[in-house]
């Protein structure tokens, strides 16, 4: 029988192989305490968001069954919509869990909002603070150019805002840390899916994007791109 070819492994194959858990060889947990939330000492401003609805709506089955292409692009985006979507994606349940599935207690993710045109919200870059359900204003300049550039020079003329998810691998205590990236990508997918469902429920067109220039997106979000890495983006209105 022919042996499998000895071609060089791809980065993905290496990652998958090197982060395998093997019986008898689990990495030891360090037990190190880590902060589950990012804290900004001096944001430009902190703006409370409208209280989100925690009941009602069209119903999950109807939302899942809605054909996404039936939602027109470029709709108006209101502060209340964004409040609802951020809560649905990254907020808390009645019992204090995150709305999205998390790999570690309280999540390894952070959520940002890049605003082009939202009623009653200044353009710029914001961090979503889920405990206060508030936006922390980080960047005041109009972000359209940088956002379009970071999204591979995409036409974002119909995009009113973007939600960006980042991950902090250091929050996940897996000993060697390498498996943390698996968890972060899964969490980001879960959060983006919750946001997508909220967008459909609100009648907003939305696109998940995993293609971006990592360093440019990190710069836009004011993160270092190493201890905190960009994971995915949801553009709203396009
Ligand atoms: C994980 C993931 C990553 C994606 N990345 C991008 C992207 O970078 N750029 C883009 O235009 N669309 C991206 N998409 C959207 C898909 O290309 C495509 O629009 C989608 O799968 C079409 O299916 P839908 O309209 O049924 O959601 C992504 C979708 C997913 C789920």
Residue 196 and residue 188 in contact, taking contact as beta carbons nearer than 8 Å: no
Tokens 């710069």: give the residue. 219
Residue 161 and residue 77 in contact, taking contact as beta carbons nearer than 8 Å: yes
Tokens at 220, concatenated: 């836009």
Q: Is 238 in the pocket of ligand 1 (CB under 6 A)?
A: no
Q: Is 131 in the pocket of ligand 1 (CB under 6 A)?
A: no
Q: Give the pLDDT confidence of 133-171 residue by residue, as tens digits.
A: 999 999 999 999 999 999 999 999 999 999 999 999 988
Residue 170 and residue 34 in contact, taking contact as beta carbons nearer than 8 Å: yes
What is the SS3 assignment for 188?
helix
Q: Give the pLDDT confidence of 79-136 residue by residue, as tens digits.
A: 999 999 999 999 999 999 999 999 888 889 999 999 999 999 999 999 999 999 999 9
Distance (Å) from CA 207 to ligand 1 centroid: 6
Q: Is 68 in the pocket of ligand 1 (CB under 6 A)?
A: yes
Q: Is 152 in the pocket of ligand 1 (CB under 6 A)?
A: no
The average pLDDT across 195-219 equals: 97
Residue ranges covered by each domain of the chain:
75-236
For the whole model, what pTM was predicted? 0.93
| CATH number corresponding to 75-236 | 3.40.109.10
Length of the chain: 238
Distance (Å) from CA 209 to ligand 1 centroid: 6
């Amino acid at each position: 029988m022919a042996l499998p070819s000895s071609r060089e492994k791809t980065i993905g194959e290496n990652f998958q192989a090197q982060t395998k858990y093997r019986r008898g060889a689990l990495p030891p947990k360090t037990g190190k305490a880590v902060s589950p939330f990012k804290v900004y000492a001096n944001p430009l401003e902190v703006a409370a968001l409208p209280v989100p609805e925690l009941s009602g709506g069209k119903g999950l089955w109807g939302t899942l069954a809605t054909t996404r292409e039936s939602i027109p692009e470029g709709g108006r985006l209101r502060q209340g919509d964004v409040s609802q979507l951020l809560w649905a994606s990254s907020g808390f349940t009645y019992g204090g869990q995150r709305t999205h599935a998390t790999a570690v207690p309280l999540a390894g993710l952070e959520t940002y909002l890049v605003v082009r045109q939202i009623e009653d919200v200044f353009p710029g870059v914001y961090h979503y603070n889920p405990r206060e359900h508030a936006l922390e204003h980080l960047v005041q300049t109009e972000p359209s150019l940088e956002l379009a550039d970071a999204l591979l020079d995409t036409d974002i003329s119909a995009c009113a805002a973007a939600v960006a998810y980042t991950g902090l691998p250091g929050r996940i205590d897996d000993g060697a840390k390498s498996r943390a990236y698996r968890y972060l990508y899964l969490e980001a997918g879960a959060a983006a899916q919750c946001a997508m469902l909220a967008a459909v429920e609100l009648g907003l067109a939305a696109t998940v994007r995993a293609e971006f220039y990592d360093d440019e997106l990190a710069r836009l979000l004011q993160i270092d791109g190493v201890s905190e890495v960009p994971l995915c983006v949801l553009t709203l209105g396009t």
